[in-house]
A and B are shown apart, each in its own frame.
Chain A
Amino acid sequence: MSVPAANVLTTASTVPAAEVAGAGPGARGWLRSAEITIPGGIIVLLLFFCFIWPLVYPVPKPIGGSLLQVNLPLFAPGHIFGTDDVGNDIMSRILYGGRVSFEVAAGVQVIGLVVGGLLGMAAAYRGGWIEAVLMRILDVFIAFPSLVLVLAIADSLGPSEMHVIWALSAFSIPAFARVARAATLRLRDQPFVVAARLSGTKAWRIMFQHLVPNMAPQLLTFSLLGAGITILLEGGLDFLGYGIPPPTASWGNMIATGQQFISVYPDLVLVPSFFLLLTCICLNMMGDGLRARWGVR
C-alpha cells in the first residue's frame, strides 16, 4: 500500500460506508473501472429509491393496505410487485424495508469503525498491558457464539431498529478492533511514524494524522464487506423473530412472513430475496474492487 495513494483517500474516510460509491467529486479517475462503478451505481440507485423517491413521488403506504386487494400478482396495475397477504403494496414495503437495511448496515459499520477502530488502534499503538487486556476481551467476544449475544440483546431491549443496531455492533466492534490493531502494528515501526515520534509529535496526532490515513483504505473496504454481512444478519434476526417487529417493513420479516405462503405465492419471498441478494452482491463487489484498486490485503 503506497502512502500517497492512501493520503488522497483521507477526505473520503469520513463519508459513511454505503455512500462511497465512486461517484463523488474528485473521483473522476475511478469512473473508468466498471467493476466498482456498476455495483456502486446500483447501490446509489437503491439508496435514492429507498430514501428520496417516497418523498417526491406518491408511493402507496407500506402498511394498512386494502384487504380487497390481497395477493395481487406481479405487475398488477398500481402495484408493480403486487400486494402481500394483507393487501400492502410490495414495492413500497421493499423501499421502506430497504431503508431499514441500509440504516442498520450504516449504523453498525459506523459504530464498529469508530469504537472498534479507535480501541484497536490506541491499544496497539500503546502496547503493554492495555493491549494484552483488550486482546483477551476481544478473544472472549470472538469465542462467544455471537448469535447468543445478538438474540439476548434483541430480546432484552425489545424488538426495534435501534436495538438491532446495538445488537449487531457487538459483532462489528471486535472485528474492526482486530483489523485496526493489525494495521497499527504493521505501521507502528515504519520510518515515517518513527520520524514523527522522534520529532516530538504527540501520540494522538500521530494516530489521527499518520496512522488513520494509512489504514483508512483497509478499514473502508472492510466496512463495505461488513455492511453486506450486516444486512444478511439483520435479515436473519428478523427471520428468527428477534429483529424488526412485523407491521414495520423490513426485507427479513417480509421473507419470514412470505414463507408461509411460499408454495402458493412464491413472489412474496422471491422479491425481497432478490433485493437482499442484489444489495449484498453490490456491496461485496465494491469492497473487492476497492480492495484490489488500493492494493489492500
Chain B
Amino acid sequence: MSTSATVQPARWPGGAFLRRLASSPALRVSGRRLLSAIPVLWGVTLLAFLVMNALPGDAASALLGINATKAEIRAFSIKLHLNEPLWTRYGHWLAGVVTGNLGTSLASPQSVASILGQRLPVTLELVLFALIITLVVSVPVSVLCARRPGGVVDRLSLVLSMGSISIAPYVLALLAVIVFCVKWSVFPAIGYVPLSQGIGGNLHTMTLPSIILAVPLIGFYIRFLRADLVEQMQAEDYIVTARAKGVSEWRVLTRHALRNSFIGLLTVIGLNLATLIGATVIVEDIFSLPGIGYELLNAISNRNVPVVEGIVLVFGIAVVLANLLTDLLYGVLDPRIRHVRSRS
C-alpha cells in the first residue's frame, strides 16, 4: 500500500499535487469533521421524527380542522401515508433525503426544498444583518473599554451590556414596536419586502428585527472581548515586547491585542450561531417575517412532519458548518494552531 503511494507520483506528476492536497491539514480536518457530522445529523432528524410523532393529533386532523368527519380524516391520512408504521415512514423519508429529495409538504403540493428556498434567505439575511450590527457595535466599544479599564466608558458599557443580556427579546421587541413603529413610525411594525424589490424597502423592514436580535449578542460580545483584551494587556509577553519597542498604547491595543482576541471571538460566534438561529423564531413571529422560524411554528402546529424535518436538517447543517468554519479559520488566524495541527 505504502510502496504504491510512493511510486505513483514519480510516474504521474499530477499525483504529487493530489497527494499534497490530500495531506493538507485543513482538508483533512474538514473531511473528518464532515464525516463525524453525519451520525449527528442523522440523530437530529431521528429525534425530530420521534418528537413529532409523540405529539397528540396528526397532520390529517390538524389540516382538515374540527369540522371534518372521522371518515374524511381517515381517507386523508391514508392519502398522506400516515397510516403506515413509524419506521416505514422514517425509512421512506430517509431514503428520499439520501437521494436528495426532501419530500413534499403535507399541507400543500409544494416540495419541502422549494419552501426552504423561499424561507431560508429571509432568516439568513436576518442572522447576517444581526451579526454585522453586533460586530460593528461591540468591537469598537470593547476596545474603548479596554483602553481605560474602570473608566467612565468602561463602567457605562458594563452596566448597559449587563442590561442588554438580561432583557427578554420579546419585551425589547414590544417596547421597540411601541417607540419606533407606533409613536415615531420610523419602521413598519410588521411586513416584509424581499431584497429583489429594492434594497431600501428591504432594509426598512429588516432593520428593527435585526437590531432586536443583535442587542443581547452585543452585550455578550462586549463583555467577552473587553475581558479578553484587558487580560492580554496585563499579562502577555508580546504586549510587553510591543510596548518595549515603543509602539503606542493605542496601536498595541488594536494591532496586537485585538487581533489575538479575534480567535476567541470566532469561537463565541460559532457557538452562538445555533442560539441565534433559534432566537429568530420569536423575532420572526413578532414581526411576521416569512422566515424559516415562522414556517417552523406553523409546521409544528400543523404536524407537517416533512417540513419540520427539512427545517431541522437545515438548522443542524448550519450548526455543523459554522463549527467547521470556526475550526478552519482558527488556523488562518493563529499560525501556532496551524503548525501543531499539520504535525499531528
6 closest residue pairs by CB, A with B: A140-B43, A280-B166, A281-B166, A145-B315, A143-B316, A273-B171
Selecting from B7-15, B48-56, B82-90, B238-246, the interface stretch reads B48-56
B42 to A, closest residue via Cβ: A140
Q: Say how far B327's CB is from chain A's closest CB, in angstroms.
A: 14
Q: Are B296 and A263 in contact (CB under 8 A)?
A: no
| Among A136, A137, A149, A240, contact of B297 (Cβ-Cβ < 8 Å) | A240
| Among A136, A235, A269, contact of B43 (Cβ-Cβ < 8 Å) | A136
CA distance A149 to B167 in the complex (A): 23
Chain B positions within 8 Å of A137 at CB level: 43
Chain B positions within 8 Å of A262 at CB level: 174, 178
Q: Does B156 contact A (CB under 8 A)?
A: no
| Among B40, B165, B308, contact of A139 (Cβ-Cβ < 8 Å) | B40
Contact A140:B47 (CB < 8 A) given known A145-B315, A277-B163? yes
Q: Does A217 contact B (CB under 8 A)?
A: no
Chain A positions within 8 Å of B274 at CB level: 142-143, 145
Q: Are B51 and A235 in contact (CB under 8 A)?
A: no
| Among B54, B278, B301, B316, contact of A147 (Cβ-Cβ < 8 Å) | B278
CA distance A23 to B170 in the complex (A): 33
CA distance A273 to B308 in the complex (A): 32
Q: Are A144 and B47 in contact (CB under 8 A)?
A: yes
Interface residues on chain A, number (Cβ under 8 Å): 37
Chain A positions within 8 Å of B296 at CB level: 145, 147-148
Chain B positions within 8 Å of A144 at CB level: 44, 47-48, 312, 315-316
A266 to B, closest residue via Cβ: B178
Residue among B48, B165, B170, B300 facing the most chain A CB atoms (10 A cut-off): B170
Q: Are A147 and B43 in contact (CB under 8 A)?
A: no
Q: Does A146 contact B (CB under 8 A)?
A: yes
Contact A273:B166 (CB < 8 A) given known A137-B43, A144-B48, A145-B278? no
Chain A positions within 8 Å of B315 at CB level: 143-145
Given contact pairs A144-B47, A148-B300, A152-B55, enumerate 11 new A-B contacts (beta carbons under 8 Å).
A140-B44, A144-B312, A147-B293, A155-B300, A156-B54, A156-B55, A232-B169, A240-B297, A255-B174, A263-B182, A276-B171
A256 to B, closest residue via Cβ: B170
Q: Does A151 contact B (CB under 8 A)?
A: yes
Q: Does B94 contact A (CB under 8 A)?
A: no
CA distance A293 to B245 in the complex (A): 35
Indicate the size class of the contact surface on chain B.
35 or more
A156 to B, closest residue via Cβ: B55
| Among B40, B56, B163, contact of A136 (Cβ-Cβ < 8 Å) | B40
5 A-B pairs within 8 Å (CB atoms) are namely: A140-B40, A143-B274, A145-B311, A148-B296, A280-B166
Q: Are A152 and B54 in contact (CB under 8 A)?
A: yes
Q: Are B47 and A235 in contact (CB under 8 A)?
A: no
Chain B positions within 8 Å of A232 at CB level: 166, 168-169
Q: Does B107 contact A (CB under 8 A)?
A: no
| Among B40, B52, B162, B169, contact of A152 (Cβ-Cβ < 8 Å) | B52
Q: Does A284 contact B (CB under 8 A)?
A: yes
Q: Does B320 contact A (CB under 8 A)?
A: yes
Q: Say how far B84's CB is from chain A's closest CB, in angstroms.
A: 21
Q: Does A228 contact B (CB under 8 A)?
A: yes
Chain B positions within 8 Å of A152 at CB level: 51-52, 54-55, 300
CA distance A142 to B323 in the complex (A): 11
Chain A positions within 8 Å of B316 at CB level: 143-144
Q: Are B40 and A156 in contact (CB under 8 A)?
A: no
Q: Does A236 contact B (CB under 8 A)?
A: yes
Q: Does B39 contact A (CB under 8 A)?
A: yes
Q: Say how far A77's CB is from chain B's closest CB, in angstroms.
A: 28
Q: Say how far B78's CB is from chain A's closest CB, in angstroms.
A: 24
Q: Does A259 contact B (CB under 8 A)?
A: yes
Chain A positions within 8 Å of B48 at CB level: 144, 148
Q: Mark B280-297, 1 if CB is under 8 A from A, else 0.
A: 011001000000010011
CA distance A148 to B315 in the complex (A): 11
Q: Does A166 contact B (CB under 8 A)?
A: no
CA distance A277 to B285 in the complex (A): 22
Q: Say how far A140's CB is from chain B's closest CB, in angstroms.
A: 4
A231 to B, closest residue via Cβ: B168
Chain A positions within 8 Å of B297 at CB level: 151, 240
